[in-house]
Amino acid sequence: MSEHSFVQLPARAGFADMQDLIKALSVTDVNKGDIFVSMSEMEFYEPSAVCALLAQLTRWKLVEGRAVTVLPERRRNSVVGYIRHMGFFQKLGITDDGATAKGATANYVPIEEVKGDSKVDVVALKMVKAAMSGRSANDDVRQLLCYALGELLKNVQQHSRGTGYVMAQYYETGLFQIGIADNGIGIKESYISSLSPKVKGRETWSDAQWVEEAIRCQSSSKVHLRSPHGEGPVNRGIGLTMCSLFAKECLGHFELISHAGRLSHDFKFMDKPNEPAAVEISPPYHGVLCSIAFNPSAMGQISFMDLRRQALTELGMLGKATPLTGSDTMFSS
Amino acid sequence: MSTTIQMRLRFDSTFLADGDVAVRFCSQEVEPALQRGESVVFDFEGVDNMTDSFSNACFANLFKKHRGLVGNRIRFKACTPLIKDFVLSALTMADSKDN
C-alpha cells in the first residue's frame, strides 16, 4: 500500500526562497499515496509561487489521479484568504467554506488557467486592466505589461503540453509582478520533443544549460519549424529574451525554473546588475515556472517604444534592415 | 484590386499577441490574396500594441517571401509609432541571414 504524503507548505515562497516551496512539494515524489496539504504556515506567496502550487496540485489530481486534501485552517490566515479570493480553490475544484472568488478588483486579480484555446490577447488585457484598476499608470506601462503577459502566455501554449496558470499583482511598493507556472514537459523536453536541431551534440546538457539556451535570442525550441507558406519559422524565439531585458531596464527581477535548472536575475540595483549563470537545483520543479517583476517608475519618461528599442539595440537587432525597394512607401496615414 | 484588412476588426482586439493565429491568418488570407495578384493593405486603426511573436510570425515571413512587393502591393495604414516599430523590426528579422 502506498504511503500518504503530507505537504507542509513553507511560510514564504518568493523570488529569493522559491526553493523552499519546491522542496516541500517534492515530498509527493517519494510517497505515491493520497496527499494532504497544510497551508497553516503560509505568510507570503508571490504570484509565481501561487501558480506553481496550483499547477502541482492540478498535476497530482488530474495527471496522477491522486486524492488531494487541503487541510482545514484552525486560524485565520491572510494568504489563504488572498488566494481564495483569487479563485485558487475554485480552479482546483475544491469546495471550501471560505468566501467565493471575487471578480477583478484593485486588490484581487483572479488567477487564469492557460489553455490551448485561451485567447492570449484577451487574458493579457483583462489581467492588466484588473491589476491596474485604481492605479495611476500611463499607456506605456500598460503596453509593457500586456506585452510581457502576451509573450509568457503564448510560451505556455506553444511549449508546455501541461496545464498552466498565470497571475499578476501590483504591490504597494510600486512593483508589478507576473507569475506563470505549468506542470508540463519543461524546457529541455520541449527542445527534444520538437526535434530541434539544437539538441544534436547537446544530449548530455543539464536543465540549467537548457534554461540558459531558452533565454537566448532566437533560440526557441520551435525556431526550426517552418510556417505553412514555408518562408520562415513559426516562432523566432525573441519574446522571452525581450521580457528579461525589460525586467532589467525596469529594475525588476527575472526568474526562470525548468525542472532542475534555475536562472535568477535581480536587477534592483542599477550599478550592480546581478546576472549569474543558471544553476542546478535539487529537488527539481515538475514543469516551468517564470517570475518577472517590473518597477514601472524606473521607466521614467521613457515610452514602451523606446524601452523596446533599447532592448533591440542590446540584442543588435535595431536598424539593420536592408532598405527595400519601395520601403519608403510602406506606411500611410 | 486591393484588399484592405482592418486588423482591429479582423482580430477583435487592440492588442495582437498570438503568433499561431498570425501564421494561420497569413497562410489562409494574406497569401491567397497576393497569389491572386491583389494588393494588401494592413489597416491598424484602433490597434495600439502587439507582441514580437505576432509581428514576426505575421510579417517577417511575409517580407521574406515577398520582398519586392513591400511598399507597392504590401502596405500599412494608420500605424501608431509603436506599431510601425514592430513592423520595421519584423523587416529586420526578415533580413537577418539567420532566418
Output the nine-digit C-alpha cell for A162: 501541461
Using CA atoms, how far apart are residues B48 and A92, in angstroms rounded to an integer?
36
Average pLDDT over residues A294-304: 87
- Total domains in the fold of chain A: 1
DSSP string, A49-83: HHHHHHHHHHIIIIIS---EEEPPPSS--HHHHHH
Full-model pTM = 0.91
Using CA atoms, how far apart are residues A289 and A21, in angstroms rounded to an integer?
12
Reduce the DSSP state of residue A166 to 3 states and report it.
strand
Residue A225 lies in a domain: yes
pLDDT(A195) > 80: no
Whether residue A169 contacts residue A321, with contact meaning beta carbons closer than 8 Å, is answered with: no
Q: Looking at the partner chain, which of A146, A154, A326 has a beta carbon nearest the beta carbon of B70? A: A326
Could B67 and A324 be called an inter-chain contact, meaning their C-beta atoms sit closer than 8 Å?
yes
| pLDDT, chain B, mean | 92
DSSP string, A128-157: HHHHTTTS---HHHHHHHHHHHHHHHHHHH
Considering only CB atoms, which chain A residues are within 8 Å of B74? 330
Note the pLDDT of residue A103. 54
Residue A323 lies in a domain: no
Note the pLDDT of residue A85. 86
Q: How far is CA A64 from CA A7, A11, A29, A219, A231, in A?
A: 16, 26, 11, 32, 41
Residue A329 lies in a domain: no
Maximum distance among all alpha carbons in chain A?
A: 73
Taking only residues 22 to 51 of chain B, the set having a beta carbon closer than 8 angstroms to any beta carbon of chain A reads 23-24, 26-27, 31, 48-49, 51
Residue A330 lies in a domain: no
Interface check for A322 against chain B (CB to CB < 8 A): the answer is yes
Range with the lowest mean pLDDT among A38-47, A112-121, A322-331? A322-331
Gap from B6 CA to chain A (nearest CA, Å): 14
Domain that includes residue A123, residue range: 5-318
pLDDT exceeding 90 applies to what percent of chain A?
A: 46
Using CA atoms, how far apart are residues A164 and B28, in angstroms rounded to an integer?
29
Residue A232 lies in a domain: yes
Residue A324 lies in a domain: no
Report residue A124 CA to chain centroid gap.
13
